[in-house]
Amino acid sequence: MSVSALFLLDVKGRPLIYRDYRGEVSTKHAEKFIMKINELEDAGKLSPIIHDDGVTYIYLLHVNVYLLAVTRDNVNAASIVVFLHRLVDVFKHYFEELEEESIRDNFVVVYELLDEVMDYGYPQFTEARILSEYIKTDAYRMEVAAVKPPMAVTNAVSWRSEGIRHKKNEVFLDVVESVNLLVGSSGQVVSSEVVGTLKMRTFLSGMPECKLGLNDKVLFEAQGRTNRQKAVEMEDIRFHQCVRLARFENDRTISFIPPDGNFDLMTYRLSQNIKPLVWVECLVEHPSRSRTDYVVKARSQFKERSAATNVEIILPLPQDAIVPQSRCSQGTAVYAPERSAMIWTIKSFPGGKEYLLRVNFNLPSVEAEEEVHGKMPPIKVKFEIPYFTVSGLQVRYLKVIEKSGYQALPWVRYITTAGNYEIRMM
């Protein structure tokens, strides 16, 4: 893919900075772009990709700055969109915030960055930490002294610099799984999925080689180990660019040279049927014509050795509820009028426990309550369960190999959280 030119425009379409890479377009295309934006916006057909008269405009609006890529080629539009997002991250690394004022104040550095992130219209590298090694923001220009391009420019490892040193070599790996769940008013699970992320923090010297082993079902089947321990079949696996994809496709080995600091090594999804970890049901009672009671039962449906923390159950109430009162067997319940909901908070919810919340309130009439009940939003649940994964994913090993031979300390932690976790009122 190749880009003819990059424009940074203000919200009115006036060029702030323009970098022509191939001599195929001119500033008049910025004027055409803003005219097309206004036409499509008026017609309600706005799109991040606009094609007009043989020219493709791919843009991103950040605060009050348009980042616009113009090309005459048939390019991979999604890749250009990703590139523009990475360019925003680079500018924010240098200027804290990307906006019109910061562009005007730092146009020399912006030009230097535009020269480095793209060569003849072809994206190069967009790692801000690498760029900052030889484009110094304090001087607003490149160092004049003998400029040695960082190893990342000429090496395939563009995400890591050479010469990194740490007094203590450590690796922290968090396996974070988010449960998305929707339970219908009949009590049946309508949809469920688990979205997992392997989050890493690395403080390693040199250029270490890391190898990670999981209880991967495909790997276990290839090795004939399906009956020895529980295996997990992961879907939609996505890796950080540091992972050697060819190696993973061949033998399912996750091998990589990690960036320094925080990064997401891998994401995955599981669409298996999931038993609700925190079950909530609400019984509606009418003790009198002017009063309504909610009896809410919350039950933890995981093993007793685990405990959910920071549990928050958001119980919607009618907007015209009058002076809601509550009492609960565990935790605290507070009425949030701005959200028209009762917020039930439980700091620690051990497995196999059941707690009760009673809420009573008045309404102008019972008929009014019945009218809005069918339109009531679902009950939302938030929680965290440390040392637990709902999918059963396990880290079998995490090895760090570096030519100097130092010993690194790996730390692994498991956390399950509630994502979009909703239960419709019965």
Q: What is the CATH number of the domain that holds 72?
A: 3.30.450.60
Structural domains of the chain, count: 3
- Report strand pairing: 409-423 vs 170-183: parallel
Beta strands in 90-165 (DSSP E): 118-119, 122-123, 135-136, 141-142
Q: E strand or H helix at 43, and its extent?
A: helix 28-43
In a domain, 165, yes or no: no
pLDDT band at residue 111 using 50, 70 and 90 as cut-offs: confident
For 290-329, the pLDDT digits (tens) are 788 999 999 999 999 999 999 999 999 988 888 899 999 9
CB-CB neighbours of 206 under 10 Å? 17
Residue 39 has pLDDT above 60, yes or no: yes
Q: What is the pLDDT of residue 141?
A: 35
Chain mean position to CA 391: 19
Percent residues over pLDDT 90 in the chain: 43
- Residue 44's domain comprises 5-154
Mean pLDDT of the chain: 86
For 156-207, the pLDDT digits (tens) are 577 888 889 999 999 999 999 999 999 998 889 999 999 999 999 999 999 9
Q: Is there a single domain that holds both residue 251 and residue 215?
A: yes
Q: What is the pLDDT of residue 157?
A: 76
Q: What is the pLDDT of residue 311?
A: 97
In whole angstroms, what is the distance from residue 80 CA to residue 58 CA? 7
Last residue of a domain, one of 154, 184, 206: 154
Q: Is there a single domain that holds both residue 86 and residue 211?
A: no
The arithmetic mean of pLDDT across residues 103-107, rounded, is 82
Tokens standing for residue 275: 């038993």
Residue 130 has pLDDT above 90, yes or no: no
In whole angstroms, what is the distance from residue 254 CA to residue 221 CA? 17
Highest-pLDDT range among 1-5, 49-53, 123-127, 404-408: 404-408
In whole angstroms, what is the distance from residue 260 CA to residue 136 CA? 20
| Stronger pLDDT, 265 or 366, i.e. the higher one | 265
In a domain, 162, yes or no: no
For 336-380, the pLDDT digits (tens) are 999 999 999 999 999 999 999 999 998 876 554 454 445 689 999
Query: CA nearest 104: which of 91, 116, 87, 117?
Result: 91
Residue type, 399: K
Q: What is the pLDDT of residue 104?
A: 83
With contact defined as beta carbons under 8 Å apart, do 334 and 324 qualify? no
For 212-225, the pLDDT digits (tens) are 999 888 887 777 76
Q: What is the pLDDT of residue 308?
A: 96
Q: What is the pLDDT of residue 152?
A: 47
Tokens standing for residue 305: 């050795």
In whole angstroms, what is the distance from residue 25 CA to residue 121 CA? 12
In whole angstroms, what is the distance from residue 312 CA to residue 383 CA? 6
Q: Is there a single domain that holds both residue 210 and residue 300?
A: no
Q: Is there a single domain that holds both residue 405 and residue 419?
A: yes
Give backbone dihedrals phi and psi of 260, rounded to 5 degrees, phi first.
-90, 125
Find where tokens 């102008």 sit.
364
pLDDT band at residue 116 using 50, 70 and 90 as cut-offs: confident
In a domain, 344, yes or no: yes
In whole angstroms, what is the distance from residue 294 CA to residue 281 CA? 10
Residue type, 25: V
Q: What is the pLDDT of residue 221?
A: 77
Q: Is there a single domain that holds both residue 194 and residue 118?
A: no
Quick check: helix, strand or coil at residue 248?
Answer: helix
Q: Is there a single domain that holds both residue 146 and residue 77?
A: yes
Contacts of 150 (CB under 8 A, 6+ apart): 130, 133, 134, 161, 162
Q: Is there a single domain that holds both residue 90 and residue 214?
A: no
With contact defined as beta carbons under 8 Å apart, do 393 and 214 qualify? yes
Tokens standing for residue 198: 């392997």
Q: Is there a single domain that holds both residue 258 and residue 379?
A: no
Query: CA nearest 19: which of 95, 103, 75, 92?
Result: 103
Tokens standing for residue 218: 């495909």
Q: What is the pLDDT of residue 372?
A: 47
Q: What is the pLDDT of residue 343?
A: 96
Q: Is there a single domain that holds both residue 222 and residue 244?
A: yes
Percent residues over pLDDT 70 in the chain: 91
Highest-pLDDT range among 13-22, 120-129, 139-148, 226-235: 13-22
Q: What is the pLDDT of residue 190?
A: 92
Q: Is there a single domain that holds both residue 109 and residue 185?
A: no
Residue 267 has pLDDT above 90, yes or no: yes
In whole angstroms, what is the distance from residue 276 CA to residue 121 CA? 50
